[in-house]
Amino acid sequence: MGQIALVTWDGGGNVAVTVAIAVALRASGHAVTVVGPRSLQSAVEPLALGYAELGIMPPGDPEQRMSYLLDVAQGTDTMLAELGRLTASADALVIDCNLSWALQSRVARRTAVLVHTALGIYLPVWQAVLDTANVQRAARGVPPLAAAADAWAWADRLLVASIAHFDRPVPVGRLRPVYVGPVSGPWRPRTGSAAIHPACDRPRVLISYSTESLQNTPQRVQTALDALAGLPLDVLATTSGAFNAARLRVPGNATVLDYLPHGSVMTTVGLMVCHAGHGTTMAALSCGVPLVCVPGLGRDQAPIAARVSELGLGIALDSDATTGTIRDAVMAILADRRYRSRAQEFAHRTGQPDGTRHAAIELLAMLDEAI
């Protein structure tokens, strides 16, 4: 039995990917520890995974999101030393692609870099964050962080939890990505969810934004609900556990739940309104469901929305989309069957890849090389 440590941070969708893979590795009989900030402890420990605290707690103010990303990328000298102590007995490490400080430690054991989104889409936007960080570091007389492509290239595995034909081409030849497919989070469910009535003869529209409270507010969900109020639609909405559904005004054609596993309803959905988070986008497109994308704070969300639009799989709106623009986009997609057809063609080409299983297989092969 090997020992595997997964090092991550609290960024929303990346947590679901990391924890799902950790559960799969534990099921194969290995000792697995998730290393991350204290805010992740309650998500990790109920799954019988090891947990070690290390990292920066997320802020409560969305205005601090960029500052938080800069801190996540750079870490501290103390964190670097603590990482060495916490993972001293590990046979292999899996490090989140955003943790530049950890990647530069170049630990002397088998290491995988985990990219939780589409690599070619994400690389330039994450590099922009590192460029900002390096400006700050230069002003302090601190050596720069390595370019993202350089930091990701040295590892034994570069795992990408996405679909290659959705991604943009990776421009850096030295990168050797392994596309394992989308990875869905294994945990929750939450209590207090209302029953979902069977699909009716009206088109069903699902509203689902981020699981991260910084990116998912009552105002965002309310705007989407108001946009669809009074239309001949069957609307399902979820708060994704980011806030209590009682804070919303629910129109007569809508049902709102605190938690709703996408897989439980996606076959009945004709359209999704979402934040263009990678996991949510893949969940919809893998089932042939077109999208209205209203990007949030995630660095990959605006370019993912643009890619959805570029492929004819939905409509990308601005992050501050109004009720009118959301309503118009929803009605435009429902009126044009080509969106649904293209989404179904995408799903047929994609199949139903088990990204969690494929990631675990790759990591176990890497572990075998280490032991």
* Secondary structure of residue 225 in the 3-state scheme: helix
- Same domain for 330 and 365: no
Which tokens go with 279? Answer: 């996991």
Q: Residues 137-161: what's their mean pLDDT? A: 95
- Same domain for 250 and 122: no
pLDDT, one tens digit per residue, over 302-350 is 999 999 999 999 999 999 999 999 999 999 999 999 999 999 999 999 9
Helix axes 119-139, 65-74, angle to 10 degrees: 80
- Same domain for 341 and 364: no
293 lies in some domain: yes
**Boundaries of domain holding 165:** 3-182+353-370
pLDDT at 199: 63
263 lies in some domain: yes
- Same domain for 153 and 19: yes
317 lies in some domain: yes
| pLDDT range class, residue 286, cuts 50, 70, 90 | very high
84 lies in some domain: yes
Q: Compute the distance between CA of residue 256 and CA of residue 249 in angstroms, rounded to an integer.
A: 10
pLDDT: which is higher, 264 or 91: 91
- Same domain for 240 and 147: no
Q: Compute the distance between CA of residue 352 and CA of residue 147 in angstroms, rounded to an integer.
A: 33
Are 288 and 343 in contact by the 8 Å Cβ rule? The answer is: yes
- How many structural domains comprise the chain? 2
**Please, which residues bridge with residue 80 across strands?**
none
- Same domain for 344 and 272: yes
Q: Residues 280-306: what's their mean pLDDT? A: 94
- Same domain for 240 and 263: yes
195 lies in some domain: no
- Same domain for 230 and 112: no
Q: Residues 264-293: what's their mean pLDDT? A: 95
| pLDDT range class, residue 191, cuts 50, 70, 90 | very low
pLDDT of 184 over the 60 cut: yes
Q: Which residue is it, tokens 């280490």? A: 370
DSSP letter string, 54-75: -SPPPPS-GGGHHHHHHHHHH-
| pLDDT range class, residue 196, cuts 50, 70, 90 | low
> Which residue from 294, 246, 290, 254 is spatially nearest to 274, judged by alpha carbons?
294
CA dihedral 218→301→254→203, nearest 10 degrees, is 170
pLDDT at 263: 80
pLDDT at 371: 61
- Same domain for 320 and 247: yes
197 lies in some domain: no
Q: Residues 279-284: what's their mean pLDDT? A: 94
Are 235 and 253 in contact by the 8 Å Cβ rule? The answer is: yes
- Same domain for 223 and 162: no
pLDDT, one tens digit per residue, over 57-105 is 998 887 888 999 999 999 998 999 999 999 999 999 999 999 999 998 8
| pLDDT range class, residue 192, cuts 50, 70, 90 | very low
- Length of the chain counted residue by residue: 371
Q: Residue 66 maps to which CATH number?
A: 3.40.50.2000
pLDDT of 193 over the 50 cut: no
Q: Residues 176-196: what's their mean pLDDT? A: 72
- Same domain for 36 and 74: yes
> Which residue from 96, 64, 125 is spatially nearest to 301, judged by alpha carbons?
125
Percent of the chain whose predicted confidence (pLDDT) is above 90: 77
pLDDT at 352: 82
pLDDT at 22: 97
How far from 46 is each of 1, 188, 251, CA to CA, in Å? 22, 10, 36
194 lies in some domain: no
302 lies in some domain: yes
- Same domain for 37 and 152: yes
